């Protein structure tokens, strides 16, 4: 067995599904190995159906592998746990609870011995962190898609997980909202030195957020084909990044991989990346901070 | 029209009631019109006169009279309508509450496991369509008491909608909610109480609302069958006396009480409802 120095260590992971008709098993992926360092932000990119969500669910402990091991902090994962926070693709907020109550519910599960006040104060801190203090008493149905996703983020961060797992968290959001929440996510991750494993369809998002991008080949028998370091130092500023040749090189590399591995597949991949990258913001708001402010204004 | 929009529907309702009453009143007009008819009629009804449909004015007058003293008790065959309704409500309440206490936990357990759901399904499907009154002979034989038999009949008719809806509601709770609970390492009990129960509550309440409606329908029939007390017996008794005005008043009261029961459950339903986001 190889060394388990890394914080998240995946070894020889495989997942097979029995065929419904009793035929041959479907091997979604096999021989998947990778590792994530403490404090690292890693994105996983691949075509639809290659098994990204399955990998994330196995790491979360919600699904079990057919073969292989997952170690978090040196301990093998055998089920779900509070040290791993999950942000689900469809937010999965409890619809009968308000935004704040949703966060409190998780906080209470994490620290059962806390007083009501402690739970509330802690939850309010994180709701405030994603800018939802004014909307904290609203039910999920009364929140916009972006706001719901933020509650999901607040909920995951509030339990202070050692590892944050995100499955296409911003997939359903428009570009402006997405950019704002990405910036918020980066700020929170920097402040908490959060280790993140995130799935995305969006090449731009991966390059902007990640330290390293894992590329997954198509299934069946999908594998991690390549791990690409993003050679951009932090803090990253959107507008400056657009002028950086390293950004474009990395971005083209990822896109090229996806296009090559697509190989005339009948069902079109849901790539979020347009031929031209993010539209450059107006000169007046050329730096990341004011871009973020502008998008906040724009959402009102 | 300058009337507030909110008043349109109620005013229209009143108008419909007035028109229907007027037509009815006109259609049942007879030559005779004395003020002290009800006492007189009670004595001679069916003897020298064919029974006729009572007029709305008679019904209204009798209704006011009956409601002015609803809970008097002058022997087994002369009790106020209010008292009779209380008897019926008591039986419905008892049978229904026991049905809720039995059906919700069992439905919960069945709904939690697909295996149990499939295993119990044939029994439920066979027992559900049986008219609750068909249980009456069996109940009377086993329980040997007419009052408790009608309580049992209420229980048996209330149990199925609640059981089915609870099992269905629990089994169709979104996997996501269960996953949230699992990632939070909640115990099975906490998951059941704080995630599954609230998620399934609207479906359970729908079953409970269907059940209370059926129970109120069934109690009238059951009491007609076993007699003694209760609004069903009361209606049957008045029919035997050919006092149709009393029958109509009782029918309206049954409707009003049924509406009240449904209203209560509707409120409860609203309290647990949530909008899926
Ligand atoms: N319970 C299951 N039974 C059988 N096959 C399954 C099951 N769950 C997933 N699969 C198959 O596993 C493969 C990978 O699914 P997964 O959801 O992990 O894909 P994904 O990479 O997350 O796709 P997307 O980007 O569209 O979300 C798919 O081909 C899917 O059909
Ligand atoms: Mg997926």
**Residue B246: which CATH number?**
1.10.3720.10
Give residue-wise pLDDT tens across range B202-258. 999 999 999 999 999 999 999 998 888 898 999 998 888 888 888 999 999 999 999
Residues 6+ apart with CB under 8 A from B163: B103, B106, B107, B110, B124, B207
Q: Is the Cβ pair A60, B183 closer than 8 Å?
A: yes
Give residue-wise pLDDT tens across range A91-127. 899 999 999 999 999 999 999 999 999 999 999 999 9
In the predicted model, is pLDDT for residue A288 greater than 70?
A: no
- Which residue range is the domain that position B117 belongs to? 81-276
Instruction: Provide the pLDDT for residue A51.
Output: 93
Instruction: Provide the pLDDT for residue A248.
Output: 92
Q: Tell which of A96, A97, A163 to mutate to test the B interface (max B CBs under 10 Å).
A: A96
Residue B257 falls inside a structural domain = yes
Least Cα separation, residue A82 to chain B (angstroms): 5
| % pLDDT > 70, chain B | 92
Three-state DSSP at B145 gives coil
| DSSP assignment letter at B196 | I
Domains contained in chain A, CATH given: 8-83+164-176+194-299 (3.40.50.300), 93-160 (no CATH)
Residue B201 falls inside a structural domain = yes
Residue B172 falls inside a structural domain = yes
The best mutation among A24, A49, A55 to test binding of ligand 1, ranked by most ligand atoms within 8 Å of the C-beta, falls on: A49
Q: Is B198 on the interface with A (CB under 8 A)?
A: yes
CA distance B100 to B262: 16
Q: Is the Cβ pair A88, B180 closer than 8 Å?
A: yes
Closest-CA residue in chain A for B194? A105
Q: Which residues of B touch A94 (CB under 8 A)?
A: 177, 180, 195, 198-199
Ligand 1 center–CA A273 separation, angstroms: 22
Q: Is A52 in the pocket of ligand 1 (CB under 6 A)?
A: yes
CA distance B89 to B265: 15
Q: Is B186 on the interface with A (CB under 8 A)?
A: yes
| % pLDDT > 70, chain A | 86
Atom of ligand 1 nearest to the CA of A46: 21
Helix (H) or strand (E) holding A200: strand A195-200
Least trusted range by pLDDT, from A3-7, A239-243, B58-62: A3-7
Residue B112 falls inside a structural domain = yes
Q: Is A218 in the pocket of ligand 1 (CB under 6 A)?
A: no
Instruction: Provide the pLDDT for residue A279.
Output: 40
Residue B29 falls inside a structural domain = no
Strand A41-46 relative to strand A212-216, pairing: parallel
Three-state DSSP at A122 gives helix
When divided into structural domains, chain B yields a total of 1
Residue B27 falls inside a structural domain = no
Least Cα separation, residue A144 to chain B (angstroms): 9
Q: Is the Cβ pair B185, A80 closer than 8 Å?
A: yes
Residue B226 falls inside a structural domain = yes
Instruction: Provide the pLDDT for residue A181.
Output: 86
Checking phi first, is residue A62 left (phi over 0); if not, alpha (psi -120 to 50) or beta?
alpha
Least trusted range by pLDDT, from A92-106, A272-286, B6-20: A272-286
For residues A85-112, one letter each, b for 16 or more C-beta atoms within 10 angstroms of the residue's C-beta and e for the rest, the string is bbbbbbbbbbbbbbbbbbbbbbbbbbee
Name the token pair of A240. 């400056």
For the entire predicted model, the pTM comes to 0.82
Residues 6+ apart with CB under 8 A from B73: B79, B80, B83
């Amino acid at each position: 067995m190889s060394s388990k120095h890394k914080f998240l260590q995946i070894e020889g992971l495989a997942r097979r599904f029995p065929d419904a008709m009793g035929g041959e098993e479907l091997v979604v992926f096999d021989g998947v190995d990778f590792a994530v360092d403490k404090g690292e932000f890693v994105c996983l990119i691949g075509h639809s159906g290659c098994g990204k969500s399955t990998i994330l669910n196995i790491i979360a402990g919600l699904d079990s592998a057919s073969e292989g091991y997952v170690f978090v902090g040196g301990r093998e994962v055998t089920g779900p746990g509070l040290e791993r926070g999950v942000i689900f693709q469809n937010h999965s907020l409890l619809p009968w609870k308000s935004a704040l109550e949703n966060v409190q519910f998780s906080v209470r599960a994490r620290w059962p011995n806390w007083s009501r006040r402690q739970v509330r104060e802690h939850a309010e801190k994180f709701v405030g962190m994603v800018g939802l203090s004014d909307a904290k008493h609203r039910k999920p149905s009364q929140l916009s898609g972006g706001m719901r996703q933020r509650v999901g983020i607040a909920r995951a961060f509030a339990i202070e997980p050692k590892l944050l797992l995100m499955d296409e968290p911003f997939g359903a959001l428009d570009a402006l909202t997405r950019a704002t929440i990405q910036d918020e996510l980066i700020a929170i991750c920097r402040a908490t030195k959060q280790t993140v494993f995130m799935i995305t369809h969006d090449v731009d998002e991966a390059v902007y957020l990640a330290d390293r991008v894992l590329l997954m080949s198509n299934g069946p028998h999908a594998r991690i084909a390549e791990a690409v370091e993003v050679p951009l130092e932090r803090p990253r500023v959107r507008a400056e990044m657009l002028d950086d040749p390293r950004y474009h090189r990395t971005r083209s590399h990822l896109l090229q991989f996806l296009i090559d591995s697509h190989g005339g597949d009948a069902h079109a991949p849901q790539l979020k990346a347009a031929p031209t990258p993010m539209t450059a913001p107006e000169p007046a708001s050329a730096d990341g901070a004011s871009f973020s402010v502008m998008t906040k204004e724009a959402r009102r | 029209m300058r009337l507030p929009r909110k008043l349109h529907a109620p005013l229209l309702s009143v108008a419909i009631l007035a028109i229907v009453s007027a037509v009815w009143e006109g259609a049942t007009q007879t030559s005779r019109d004395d003020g002290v008819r009800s006492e007189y009629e009670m004595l001679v009804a069916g003897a020298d006169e064919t029974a006729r449909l009572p007029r709305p004015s008679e019904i209204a007058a009798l209704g006011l009279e009956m409601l002015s003293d609803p809970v008097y008790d002058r022997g087994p065959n002369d009790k106020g309508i209010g008292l009779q309704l209380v008897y019926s409500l008591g039986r419905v309440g008892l049978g229904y509450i026991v049905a809720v206490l039995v059906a919700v936990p069992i439905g919960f357990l069945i709904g939690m496991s697909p295996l149990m759901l499939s295993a119990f399904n044939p029994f439920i499907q066979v027992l559900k369509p049986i008219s609750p009154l068909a249980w009456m002979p069996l109940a009377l034989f086993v329980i040997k008491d007419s009052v408790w038999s009608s309580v049992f009949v209420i229980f048996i008719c209330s149990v199925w909608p609640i059981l089915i809806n609870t099992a269905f509601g629990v089994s169709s709770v979104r996997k996501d909610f269960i996953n949230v609970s699992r990632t939070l390492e909640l115990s099975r009990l906490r998951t059941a109480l704080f995630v599954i129960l609230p998620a399934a509550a609207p479906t359970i309440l729908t079953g409970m609302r269907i059940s209370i409606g059926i129970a109120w329908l069934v109690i009238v029939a059951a009491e007609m069958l076993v007699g003694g007390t209760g609004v069903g017996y009361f209606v049957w008794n008045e029919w035997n006396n050919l006092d149709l005005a009393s029958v109509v008043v009782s029918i309206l009261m049954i409707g009003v009480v049924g509406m009240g029961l449904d209203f209560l459950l509707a409120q409860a339903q609203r309290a647990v409802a949530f909008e899926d986001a």
